A and B are shown apart, each in its own frame.
Chain A
């Protein structure tokens, strides 16, 4: 018997023991002229309904690539996924046929992009772009879809939504554009929302408003939220747990409170110490020395060893496994005990 798209779609409702979304030992590589770039090397994380996972890391750490792999929007080729699973309600998305994935994208797993100006289509009105979700996926008429678009624009608190539904993206401010992006992504009540640096392109005051809006929308709908960022300040208030990524791997996994109080990986510790603090005003700001590794020419052993203040001889030769510190915490550092002890708290 031939499987149709709906046969293989993951069921809704009860989850059993299976998390809402589970990334398991995911590997992503890019075939380039310079050689094979291993962008993601065995990333695993899980997400429950109503939970916010912050994925933290510098540019090139693989955090966005992981998200694009979940959405299935990687350009393949040059990208390829040699290993790993992405289970959504127990179904491996990587094994689904393309038409089934199209059913999930946007409707059940949605994504917000960093730069809303380039991520929105310049030649269509915002109402058309939000309404498209309802017209295409719900078969609504033009008028009903537009009504829905106005409702959504109200919900993300765009002033005078009714008057502005026929405006084009370039006629909005940066913050308002990001709200439109959010309205579009939550249009069909997705179960998982991935926000890829949603506030990076915005002013600090607007950043806070957008984060607040995302947190509020999440509380209302109980969706799982993956927040990708390089900004520790953004995630402290909204995240439940944090996954810190470095050179395509997760180096630390922890509840948000634990990681802020006692980071268990030298890289997380360095990130925390490089946040400006009012009580340390006047002192020189800590900076992690060195540069992120070249993905074409990765260091041996622990990828962080050339920049690490805790480095010992075996760090250069042995890749650290993800050591379990507690049932909810891991650190990929041979000397996580020393790192933990070195933090006061």
Chain B
């Protein structure tokens, strides 16, 4: 097991190098001059520009620039923005916000998705089942942009106006964990719908398995047959889905963060691409790739815990 983890982590190194190189090259190829952008419409002193270009190695060839960047990263130095802020400090603050948001979304997804899926599976073919399936279809079809604004208006603004109580604050994340609830739900929306359907299918299939029939023949109660014998098996594919989805939730927060004015990496990434803040873009994407890799590793390890037929050497 230990050797397996080490091997997986070593495999992550070329993936990280490759993705950084790719992102670095993409931002390099973008038109426009980041130094010129600093002053907006004003004229800049050519000497100052030259010093800045030199300071940020902008006159070096592409691979020299990349080498300078990546060797810094290995020393823990993610460079500075063109405005002089440490990229690592900037990212730490923004990542904290996005991680909070993504975790809120993930927990909601797990509870609501699995819960609704199990409910639908146990009421298969009846009205509850059809209602749940129909609502997931709606959730999948309507874009985040719409659900985000509609929920913000109804639950964030109108509800507050009617009741006078601010149940779901929507002006940034200044009201503690409660301000994450509504954006978390919006972010998790489609994932909840997919997970509900996956859970339903998984349990329905498991309930048809021979070992479930065996458990009934052993004289186990319906509650135990479903809760122990079937559920343990039905959960296995859901763990994979949830783990892989963590990466999607973190990377997919751009729209949600913009709607709810949350200062996370989604907004930061968008702005940095716009301003050609190369060190910030590459830094954020690298960390996102790392989150993907780690989440997948955790999923694979959890798999072995849930399914004894899987062993890693």
Q: A: which residues have CB within 8 A of B?
A: 71, 73, 102-107, 110-111, 113, 115, 118-125, 132-133, 136-137, 168, 170, 184
- B64 interface hit (Cβ, 8 Å): no
Q: Which residues of B lie under 8 Å from residue A113 when comparing CB positions? A: 210, 213-214, 217
**Are the C-beta atoms of B217 and A102 separated by less than 8 Å?**
no
A120 to B213 alpha-carbon distance, docked (Å) = 10
**Are the C-beta atoms of B309 and A119 separated by less than 8 Å?**
no
**Are the C-beta atoms of B233 and A123 separated by less than 8 Å?**
yes
A39 to B10 alpha-carbon distance, docked (Å) = 59
Nearest residue, chain B, Cβ from A184 = B218
| A118-B233 in contact given A103-B219, A105-B218, A168-B308 (Cβ < 8 Å) | no
Residues 22 to 45 of chain B near chain A (Cβ within 8 Å): none
A108 to chain B, nearest CB (A): 9
Which of A106, A120, A121, A122 is in CB contact (< 8 Å) with B219?
A106
Residue in B210, B214, B236 whose Cβ sees the most chain A Cβ within 10 Å: B214
**Are the C-beta atoms of A122 and B211 separated by less than 8 Å?**
yes
Q: B: which residues have CB within 8 A of A?
A: 209-211, 213-221, 224, 229, 232-233, 236, 306-309
A184 to B308 alpha-carbon distance, docked (Å) = 20
Nearest residue, chain A, Cβ from B216 = A73
**Are the C-beta atoms of A124 and B232 separated by less than 8 Å?**
yes
Which of A103, A121, A168 is in CB contact (< 8 Å) with B229?
A121
Q: Which residues of A lie under 8 Å from residue B232 when comparing CB positions? A: 121, 123-124
**Are the C-beta atoms of B217 and A121 separated by less than 8 Å?**
no
Q: Which residues of A lie under 8 Å from residue B217 when comparing CB positions? A: 71, 73, 105-106, 110-111, 113
Which of A104, A125, A168 is in CB contact (< 8 Å) with B309?
A168
Q: Which residues of A lie under 8 Å from residue B211 when comparing CB positions? A: 118-122
Q: Which 6 A-B pairs have the closest CB atoms?
A: A106-B219, A105-B219, A118-B210, A106-B218, A121-B211, A168-B308
Which of B215, B221, B233 is in CB contact (< 8 Å) with A122?
B233
A125 to B307 alpha-carbon distance, docked (Å) = 11
A221 to chain B, nearest CB (A): 18
Q: Which residues of A lie under 8 Å from residue B309 when comparing CB positions? A: 122, 168, 170
Q: Which residues of A lie under 8 Å from residue B307 when comparing CB positions? A: 122-123
Nearest residue, chain B, Cβ from A125 = B308
A116 to chain B, nearest CB (A): 9
**Are the C-beta atoms of A137 and B219 separated by less than 8 Å?**
yes
Nearest residue, chain B, Cβ from A132 = B218
B126 to chain A, nearest CB (A): 13
B129 to chain A, nearest CB (A): 16
16 contacts between A and B (CB under 8 A): A73-B213, A102-B220, A103-B219, A104-B219, A105-B217, A106-B219, A107-B219, A113-B217, A118-B210, A119-B210, A120-B214, A122-B233, A122-B309, A123-B306, A123-B307, A133-B218
**Are the C-beta atoms of A102 and B219 separated by less than 8 Å?**
yes
A318 to B140 alpha-carbon distance, docked (Å) = 60
